[in-house]
Amino acid sequence: EAGVAQSPRYKIIEKRQSVAFWCNPISGHATLYWYQQILGQGPKLLIQFQNNGVVDDSQLPKDRFSAERLKGVDSTLKIQPAKLEDSAVYLCASSPAYEQYFGPGTRLTVT
């Protein structure tokens, strides 16, 4: 069974630029999560989708972050414009019910 796929694995941008991350969950998993993990911290939930609807986006900085999950399958997370404090690993996870399966993450460096 293929795992959660994410791309790119690494991205370096300058502040005020835009960036997008892509996630393809495990086939059949209805729930998809985006997490932000700052160095030395645990992952923080940014947004949770159930199929193509948003369940929880309370910690998503909506002035600069946006996410969508068209057709209830893959998802994109966008940052526009990026700030230095957005440097982090962005993790995508999918779940059939309770257990979450994580992708390898995208490491973003904002300079």
Partner 1 sequence: SQELEQSPQSLIVQEGKNLTINCTSSKTLYGLYWYKQKYGEGLIFLMMLQKGGEEKSHEKITAKLDEKKQQSSLHITASQPSHAGIYLCGADMIDKIIFGKGTRLHILP
Q: Residues in the site for partner 1, rule: CB under 8 A?
A: 4, 33, 40-45, 48, 55-56, 89, 91, 93, 98-105, 107
Cα(17)–Cα(86) distance, integer angstroms: 12
Nearer to partner 1, 81 or 104 (CB): 104
Q: How far is the CB of 10 from partner 1 (least distance, A)?
A: 9
Least distance (Å) from partner 1 to the CB of residue 35?
8
Enter the tokens of residue 2.
Answer: 């293929």
The three state secondary structure string of the chain is CCCCEEECCEEEECCCCCEEEEEECCCCCCEEEEEEECCCCCCEEEEEEECCEEEECCCCCCCCEEEECHHHCCEEEEECCCCHHHCEEEEEEEECCCCCEECCCEEEEEC
- Smallest distance, partner 1 to C-beta of residue 58, A: 10
C-beta of 70 vs 97, nearer to partner 1: 97
Compare residues 22 and 101 and give the one whose CB is closer to partner 1: 101
| Distance of closest approach, residue 24 Cβ to partner 1, in angstroms | 13
Closer to partner 1 by Cβ: residue 39 or 70: 39
